[in-house]
Structure 1
Amino acid sequence: MNFSGAYTALVTPFRNGKIDEESFREHIEWQITEGIHGLVPCGTTGESATLTHDEHKEAIRICVEQANKRVPVLAGAGSNNTKEAVHLTQFAKDAGADGVLLISPYYNKPTQEGIYQHFKHIADTISIPMVLYNVPGRTGSNILPSTVARLHKDIPQVVGIKEATGNLTQASDIIEQSGTSLNVLSGDDFTLLPLLSIGGAGVISVVSNLLPKKMAQLCEAWDKGDIATARKLHYEMQPLNRAMFIESNPIPVKTALALQGKMDTDFRLPMVPLAEDNLEKLKSIMTDAGIL
């Protein structure tokens, strides 16, 4: 499976403390209509850390059903508990997901060998395409390029990595050591264009919740060799890219979608509503971008 282009790290809408299925389906449908290349339910942006197992499964099921094979679904199924990751990965496969996004174990900070054995155990148990997720700022550990290369070489199911260090030297080392058969996807919207320039395959994006067409068009322009258009779109989206991280993700992006009337601003603690001063900044940036 080739995971390339623009994938949206989907927000999970809530209403009255439960997943708002209607809003979620409408958001997914709009993403597909706008030309997004793929969808990622139950990532960090989907508040996966505060979903129950049943809700996690529900979100994957809804996304797979609504996408209906029109675009690939890369389901978040990671955990710092290897058995739990196996359980969620098996569910994602049974539900019809095209692949799984697997974060490296967080909090318990395994060694590089522990990280390798974690992913190997999942792959040995279940046959489904796997995209690793490296985000040291949240996990407390870094999947080193040599470990990525080892995993890709030893485990055919490891077909990609969401690289969210923001470090282009590390991304370059991954591509150098693993080769172009590994899809290296940006985990930071603002690094998409430079990552493409060194051989990256695309992005798992937060801002494409708001601008799916532009994010897809940037990837398509690059693939066609239209660097000027790709660069133009990159700079057009930069203010929103920054705005999505004025507070912890997904607080700004869910707030932006609520301002557009697409869902409620309903968060799970410990996520809380956007601070008032930042709300005014967000409104101003959205107005300038023509989406409010």
Structure 2
Amino acid sequence: MSDLKGICVPICTPFDKSGDRIDEGALAAHVDSLLDAGVHIILSCGGTGEFAYLTEEERRRIHTLVGKQVRGKARFVVQSSAISTRDTIENAKFAESVGAEAIMVLPPYFEGPTMDGVMWHYEHVARAIKTPIIIYNIPQHTNRDVTPELFARLLKIENIQYIKDSKGDLTRIQQLVATGGKVFNGGDTLMFPALMGGCERVIWGGANAVPREAVQLYELFAAGKLAEAAALWKRLLPAQIFFWTHDYNSAVKAATNLLGGKVGICRKPALPLTDAELAELRQALSALGRPLASAA
């Protein structure tokens, strides 16, 4: 299986107006918009997909639908985390069955084990499946930090190849790159600096709103057109800072809607942005020079 590189978008999950049901038509339209933009990898039910607010049945439905739609058009990754090792393995095997080319897995994230227990968890998940694993490190939400030292140990397990680091620390990203492992930057405000720091791949929730610009940024960087890439990043950065400093999923969905997408609002208890926050977001998005919808 070839290496995963480029822009990976953890897709938003659209709901109907009540928030009770997944809007499958809007989901398909959103996936199409990402494919049309040339996104390299699509990830279902990541943090930006509100996986914590979905039932397992809903997650599996989304994985199945997205996997079928993406097949042959982009690479496909499935987020398969669970608190217990048993449930994580079951989720990962299902992901394999719907064509996932990699499985993204958090460390156990509630009343979690020691770091030896985290290592045990990943070892047993890795042994149970054949698909490459992306370690998902977001310690601000799990209270478990997969350090560069632990990642170097995990890389000795045959099909653990990647890490997504969402700590939002450029020094950490460069430390992870130095392990020789394959690193996805997950901090929105660091996308361009991370590329410059040797990171060849990103998982970018904010790219739901700006997939064309995200792909263009990567392609400019890959072509060595660094001045053009830096100029584009300057236009993208205000919105990325807004996402990172507000209710993240609500902000990303609002921006996506303002820029012409239709992903609705988040499932409660995540609330829509206030009018004041929407005005601030509009100002941040104005740097892109694109028309905005009248409502988010």
Same fold (TM over 0.5): yes
Cross-structure match for 2:233 = 234
What TM-score, normalized to structure 2?
Answer: 0.92
* Residue identity in the other structure for 2:85: T
Deviation at 1:263, TM superposition (A): 2.5
Q: Do the aligned residues in 2 keep the contact of 1:112 with 1:144 (CA within 8 Å)?
A: no
Aligned with 2:32 (options 11, 24, 29):
29
Deviation at 1:18, TM superposition (A): 0.9
Cα shift readout 1:153-186 (whole Å, capped 9, x = no counterpart): 2x2211211111112222222222x21xx22111
RMSD between aligned residues: 1.6
Q: 1:69-108 alignment to 2 at 5 Å?
A: 69-108=72-111
Cα shift readout 1:235-261 (whole Å, capped 9, x = no counterpart): 110011112234222111112233345
Aligned with 2:137 (options 129, 134, 138):
134
Cα shift readout 1:131-151 (whole Å, capped 9, x = no counterpart): 111011111110111110111
* Residue identity in the other structure for 1:164: S
More off after superposition, 67-76 vs 44-53 = 67-76
Distance across 2 between alignment mates of 1:232 and 1:112: 41
Distance across 2 between alignment mates of 1:13 and 1:134: 25
Task: Determine if the alignment matches structure 1 residue 161 to structure 2 residue 160.
Answer: no
Cross-structure match for 1:217 = 216
Cα shift readout 1:120-140 (whole Å, capped 9, x = no counterpart): 111111111111110111111
Q: 1:242-257 alignment to 2 at 5 Å?
A: 242-257=241-256
* Residue identity in the other structure for 1:14: F
Cα shift readout 1:72-123 (whole Å, capped 9, x = no counterpart): 1111111222111111111110011111111122122332211111111111
- SS of residue matched to 1:200: coil
How many residue pairs align between the two structures? Answer: 288
Distance across 2 between alignment mates of 1:26 and 1:211: 15
Cross-structure match for 1:266 = 265
Q: Do the aligned residues in 2 keep the contact of 1:23 with 1:262 (CA within 8 Å)?
A: no
- SS of residue matched to 1:161: strand
* Residue identity in the other structure for 2:218: C
Q: Which runs of 5+ in 2 are unaligned?
A: none
* Residue identity in the other structure for 2:5: S
What TM-score, normalized to structure 1?
Answer: 0.93
Q: Which runs of 5+ in 1 are unaligned?
A: none
Q: Do the aligned residues in 1 keep the contact of 2:40 with 2:75 (CA within 8 Å)?
A: yes
Q: Do the aligned residues in 1 keep the contact of 2:210 with 2:256 (CA within 8 Å)?
A: no
Distance across 2 between alignment mates of 1:65 and 1:257: 23
Q: 1:190-201 alignment to 2 at 5 Å?
A: 190-201=189-200
Aligned with 2:128 (options 125, 141, 146):
125
